[in-house]
Amino acid sequence: MWGSTLDFTSNRCISNPVLSSTSPPLYDQLAYTISSTSSPSQDMGGGSVFLFFLVFHLFSSATACGGCVHQATAAHFTSFSALSVGACGYGSMALGFSGGYVAAASSALYRGGVGCGACFQVRCKNTKICSSRGVEVIITDLNKSNDTDLVLSRPAYVAMARRGMAKSLKKLGIVDVEYKRIPCEYSNKNLSIRVEEKSKRPNSLTIKFLHQGGQTDIVAVDVAQVGSSNWQFMSREYGPVWSTDRAPVGPLQLRMVVTGGYDGKWVWAQKEVLPVHWKIGSVYDLGVQIADIARDGCSNGHTEGWK
């Protein structure tokens, strides 16, 4: 269920945003601001309102190039084992995402882990070997190599080929591609969380988000006891993983701030998400689906749609 909506409009698109590693993460600043209020609809003081809108605007600008087409290069992993140790922390679960169609992304797309779970359509530009439809992949890892912008799983890489041309495509190794961000679709699955191994009841809680739909980023997470207005903010550890050492005693409910392009929205689960005796390794359904699509504007030579 959606909460209040905040919209922003700009006439430019910032591609390849750079996040400072020395400054406090913006999502932590935003989480602190959100946690100072008991309800998404409650009035906030002037200073909090200013910071709330400022941080939202910065995040919206940083993700505003979602649908723009970018020119890049791509290679492929030589084994599946590399996919199970990705920087996003999905582990072996990554092998089951989108039929194994996953990828490691450059730092510009990985965005300090905010880009984990984002979906992209990629197609190679060699029209003799590759089809025009390309392939859809989910980001599960950081590509630390400077040789290519994307490293695709082998199934995803060969899926770009025309019928009968998979071997020829693999022989090329590195190919020129174009890509754009697209909405993730999980028609039969709600947004869910997995309780990570470092959690310890009752107060130390670390969760990993799964099945995040739409063309969106989760930029803040709060947790509270069911029925309480005393929300406690969580901090992003890396990628889709958030934690707090001050979790209330269960049962627990969650609320998130989700951005997509120029839009920002509250999303919260109107039910118990974690029981009193939540279990490490268990996956819990939030009962909500995210389907928003970013409203983008392209500049700096980037275009909307395939050429």
DSSP for 88-116, written as a single string: T--GGGGGGGGGG-EEEE-HHHHGGGTTT
The answer to whether 106 and 149 are in contact (CB under 8 A) is yes
Structure tokens given for 96:
């089951």
Q: Could you list the beta-strand ranges (E) of 31-174.
A: 68-76, 102-105, 119-124, 135-142, 150-152
pLDDT(81) > 80: no
Instruction: Report the percentage of the chain scoring pLDDT > 90.
Output: 52
pLDDT(11) > 60: no
pLDDT digits (tens, 9 = 90+) for 16-71: 333 223 333 333 334 333 333 334 443 333 333 333 444 444 444 444 445 689 99
**pTM score:** 0.77
Domains of the chain (ranges, CATH numbers) = 2-63+187-285 (2.60.40.760), 68-185 (2.40.40.10)
CA distance 45 to 73: 48
pLDDT(267) > 70: yes
pLDDT digits (tens, 9 = 90+) for 128-178: 999 999 999 999 999 988 788 999 999 999 999 999 999 999 999 899 999
